[in-house]
């Protein structure tokens, strides 16, 4: 027969850290969805500003031919794909699980958070790529004006 394990009870600091992580786990789904909402707004604002800037710029029609068309369209395309990925984070759906199984409920919650987190990361990386494409388009625009 083995003796029961003996040890020191957790300190107050240890309990605070455990409580902090438990709160972070509970709030993770809401923070992911809040970030997606902010990204959706940011995509809309920046794409609107970009569209206005390109529309009202005095670029000659020849400047938007060939590869330049792709350069100027790339930021908008990336914002659109980023927007779709961010909307997928918020898209409601039914999650099947056994309501009498805490393990299955925990696994379902973990899958939901992981899926939404992945979609948000995709949206964020596409947004970063769109900013890089925007800088390339801006550099190209300045080169066209200088010519």
Mean pLDDT, each 10-residue run in order, the chain (147 residues): 70 80 82 93 90 78 78 92 95 82 85 92 96 92 80
Q: Which of 141, 130, 132 is nearest to 69 (CA)?
A: 141
The helix/strand/coil state of 7 is coil
| pLDDT for res 22 | 79
| pLDDT for res 122 | 97
Residue 33, C-beta contacts closer than 8 angstroms, at least 6 positions apart: 89, 90, 116
| pLDDT for res 136 | 93
Q: pTM of this prediction?
A: 0.80
| pLDDT for res 135 | 93
If phi > 0 it is left, if psi is from -120 to 50 it is alpha, else beta; for residue 66 that is left
* Cα–Cα distances in angstroms (integers) from residue 124 to residues 53, 61, 81, 138, in the given order: 23, 33, 10, 21
End-to-end CA gap in the chain: 88
| pLDDT for res 131 | 94
Distance, in Å, from the CA atom of 86 to the CA atom of 104, rounded to the nearest integer, reads: 27
Q: Assess contact for 120 and 86: CB atoms under 8 A.
A: yes
Residue 26, C-beta contacts closer than 8 angstroms, at least 6 positions apart: none
Phi, psi (rounded to 5 degrees) for 27: -90, -5
């Amino acid at each position: 027969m083995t003796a029961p394990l003996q040890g020191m009870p957790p300190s107050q600091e240890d309990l605070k850290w455990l409580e902090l992580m438990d709160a972070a786990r509970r709030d993770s789904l809401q923070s992911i969805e809040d970030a997606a909402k902010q990204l959706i707004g940011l995509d809309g604002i920046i794409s609107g500003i970009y569209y206005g800037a390109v529309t009202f710029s005095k670029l000659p029609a020849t400047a938007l031919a060939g590869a330049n068309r792709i350069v100027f369209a790339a930021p908008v395309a990336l914002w659109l794909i980023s927007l779709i990925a961010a909307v997928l984070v918020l898209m409601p759906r039914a999650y099947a699980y056994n309501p009498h199984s805490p393990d299955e409920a925990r696994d379902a919650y973990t899958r939901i958070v992981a899926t939404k987190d992945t979609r948000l990361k995709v949206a964020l990386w596409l947004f970063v790529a769109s900013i890089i494409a925007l800088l390339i388009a801006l550099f190209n625009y300045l080169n066209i004006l200088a010519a």
